Structure 1
């Protein structure tokens, strides 16, 4: 997010069910925006602030939210397919049943986010801040978590199959009942200093 204040403010806009196609918005504060059931194809938002916005049941494809800030936003049942959230950060947002397929969320700020009912598949989360994130019983599959900040993150019962776990420090996260593959099991065993032999 740029240090500059947004140049434009849009308050209580009703975009319910609206179709956004390749729109471009920059340096804009969206306050109480209603994007419920909206369809967003290829639109780009850069250095924008979304405060108390509702993304419920909206569908986004090939869209970008770059260096944006989301404050107290709701993402219930929203879907994001091949979208870019590079450098964006989230504060006090609700992610119930959000579905993220592929896309680039590198450097995203998701510290302390409740992702227990969220689903990420094939998403790039490289160097994302997941410090203290609550991912219990969630799903983060085939994701690139390399370089991510995971200190005190709760992955208990989380489906992590196929994800890059190289950033995990076993002493600082919770992994009880997490679902992983055999290859990941070997990686974790070796990280614990065990001598893994197949025979």
Structure 2
């Protein structure tokens, strides 16, 4: 059975390079905790709050951060592989450069986030809030963005190939130089009112 920790507040703790395997945290709060180069495998964080936490160069494999709040956290060179972040909220976080491969980030709130150059590949991001987010030069390939909030998102130079762009209003985003495939081009053209002959 995974070791479960509930409603505990961790403050000013050094968890540098800590291995978090099959740990379960419920309703916990983490303030000024250093998780630099930490590794989580199969760890579960449910309804937790992270404030000023350093996730720099941390690696997260098949872990879950559901309905969590991240405020003023640093994710420099963090990697999430096969992780579930459903319903989590990010505010005032440093998210660059971030790598996300696989997993489920549906219903995540990243409004106004600076995501320039980040990599999201094969991630489910249904109904994610990316309103006003800065994705210039980002890689967003094979991503399910159905129902996403994309108003005002900056996509210049982003690689969007293979992603679901049905929620995208091409008129309401910055898109110069964004890369899409032929199938997506049809969807974008239809969104602009073109009939495909």
Task: Give TM-score scaled by structure 1 length.
Answer: 0.94
| Matched residue, 1:61 | 61
- Within 2, Cα distance between the matches of 1:187 and 1:126? 17
The 5-angstrom pairing of residues 12-91 of structure 1 reads: 12-91=12-91
Offset at residue 96 of structure 1 (A) = 1.1
The number of residue pairs the alignment matches comes to: 192
| Matched residue, 2:94 | 94
Offset at residue 169 of structure 1 (A) = 1.1
- Within 1, Cα distance between the matches of 2:26 and 2:117? 30
Specify the SS of the correspondent of 1:183: helix
Gaps of 5+ in 2: 1-5
* CA deviation string 1:82-125 (max 9, x = no partner): 00000000000011111000100000000000111210000011
Q: Which runs of 4 or more aligned residues in structure 1 lie more than 6 Å from their structure 2 counterparts after TM superposition?
A: none
Specify the SS of the correspondent of 2:162: coil
Gaps of 5+ in 1: 1-5
- Within 1, Cα distance between the matches of 2:117 and 2:75? 11
| Matched residue, 1:153 | 153
- Within 2, Cα distance between the matches of 1:171 and 1:97? 28
**Alignment check: 8 A CA contact 1:113 1:132 kept:** yes
- Within 2, Cα distance between the matches of 1:127 and 1:190? 21
- Within 1, Cα distance between the matches of 2:7 and 2:42? 23
| Matched residue, 2:178 | 178
- Within 2, Cα distance between the matches of 1:117 and 1:137? 5
- Within 2, Cα distance between the matches of 1:7 and 1:57? 27
**Alignment check: 8 A CA contact 1:95 1:117 kept:** no
Q: Does 1:105 align with 2:98?
A: no
Task: Give TM-score scaled by structure 2 length.
Answer: 0.95
| Matched residue, 1:134 | 134
RMSD between aligned residues = 1.1
